[in-house]
Amino acid sequence: MICSISGNPAEEPVLSTKSGHVYEKRLVEEYIAQHGTDPISGESLSSEDLVAIQVSALEKPLVVRESASTSIPSLLSIFQREWDALALETFELRRQLNQYKKELSLALYKQDAAVRVAASAIKQRDEYKRALEELTTKLGKGEVIEIDTPAEQTNGSQPLSEEYASQLLEAHSQLYQQHRSQKFKSPIDESSDIKFALEEDLKIWDGQKKKTTLVQAEFSSDKTKILLAYSENVIAVYDVVEKVLISRHALPKRAKFSYLKWLNENKFVYASTDGTVHIVEGESETKFHLEKKSITSILAHPLLHYLIIAQTDKLYIFDGEQKLYESDPFESKISEMALHQDGLFLGLCLESNVVQIFNIAKNSVELNVSIDSLGTVEVIDKLLFSPNGYSLVIHCSTDSGSKIGIYDLRKDVFQAVLDSPSSAVLAIDKASSYLFNDQTVFRYYKKSKKWSSEVAQIPDLAQDVIVTLDIKSLEDHYEVFAVLKDGTLKRYLLQADV
């Protein structure tokens, strides 16, 4: 039993019924006497809320009993009390440091926002000053002064408000701590070879016409449903467990489908080329309109009810139907977009083959990714953050063929550049150990810290027929789902080849 305050084995462990953390009894009682709260959660806590944990004699750390005040054990007891006081003080300082870090982050953001507002005010002041000087000159010369009709005020082009930026920063802190505490391990030991076994092969929609193809598909997070978009402008939801279509939505003839995304297990969003966004939950459907331009990407924040929408060369953030933010136009159109798992940074690819890491709370570019290591890039067609948050995967076409670049965000370098099939279908397991690109599988070896070249092929699949791939990690193997353009769902087992 490890004490949550000192980090050392507890001689007399107790459990807090408020937070569920284990503490050394004497340390937590001293903390309660000073603060009256739980050291970790900050909730009100008393000695009656502590539950003693029974530990066998063999598991208990050796306790030295006190004797005379002049003996060595007595001195050790004095040192122990001093150490306990130091552990409590260190714990409190660590907690204060984390709190100050959060406050400093918010203060820096507020300062940046204030600087931008001040710069905008100074610019407007200078413009008004020049206009006034021109007006004074014309009046002095007796020239005719033309009165301009005020232009219609445009929406957006303003930083995200302090309230919503603060919410993003708080959510980022929460998600960061959550992901740090989660350690996903591959069910297949890296020393084992792997093999595929086809478990299921079925048609998703019997009513699909011969010439109709799937253009986009996405699995829900628990892999029990698939959101589908067909070329005949039909959006459908398929239940993987019951093997039945749950619902279908047809777009008007004048509009065409452009993008879809799950928001949670029962709620999804899809968009059309006329700039309409549809939000569907059960039988209810709401919609709102942007400019009459195609929407290229929609992302859902992992914690907040925010939608991040890319439309041509602009970014939008919506909370339901309420627009929170509209960016200034980027230098070229946004072709690809990915959201980091901590909910604060966007991976953006522009049609000019510029890849950026964009901070949505600060409305600023944090990093321009140098893609020189990939060769002469012609088109970048996919961005994907790895689930562990350490890498950005870039799929592109170059003068020497298709490539996958795995960019290490911590070291600001490409960790690997792999030869790829032409398809931009990508998927990574939660442990970030297997990278699927179309029917090809790559593997990461932690011992050597290197990605392998091709290690396996998904059987019975032609190239460029997969619409989407997804992976589910189980106790001793993976389930791999492949949705094909002809509306077929294939389910494979990926396991150790023993």
**If we measure between CA atoms, which residue out of 314, 352, 348 comes closest to residue 330?**
314
Q: Report d(CA 472, CA 492) in Å as an integer.
A: 10
Q: What is the pLDDT of residue 350?
A: 94
How does DSSP assign 1-43, residue by residue? -B-TTT-SB-SSEEEETTT--EEEHHHHHHHHHHH-B-TTT--
Q: Look up residue 389 and give its two tokens.
A: 């948050």
Q: What is the pLDDT of residue 64?
A: 43
Q: Report d(CA 70, CA 364) in Å as an integer.
A: 65
**pTM given for the model:** 0.68
User: Which domains does the chain possess?
Assistant: 13-102 (3.30.40.10), 162-496 (2.130.10.10)
Q: Report d(CA 224, CA 42) in Å as an integer.
A: 38
Using CB atoms within 10 A of its CB, is residue 77 exposed (0-12), middle (13-18) or buried (19+)? middle
The whole-number mean pLDDT for each consecutive block of 10 residues of the chain, a chain of 498 residues, reads: 83 88 89 87 88 71 48 78 81 82 75 72 77 67 47 46 90 88 90 94 84 92 94 92 91 85 92 91 90 91 94 91 89 93 94 93 90 93 94 95 94 93 92 94 93 88 92 95 95 92
Phi, psi of 426 (to 5 degrees): -130, 150
**Residue 204 contacts residue 173 (beta carbons within 8 Å):** no
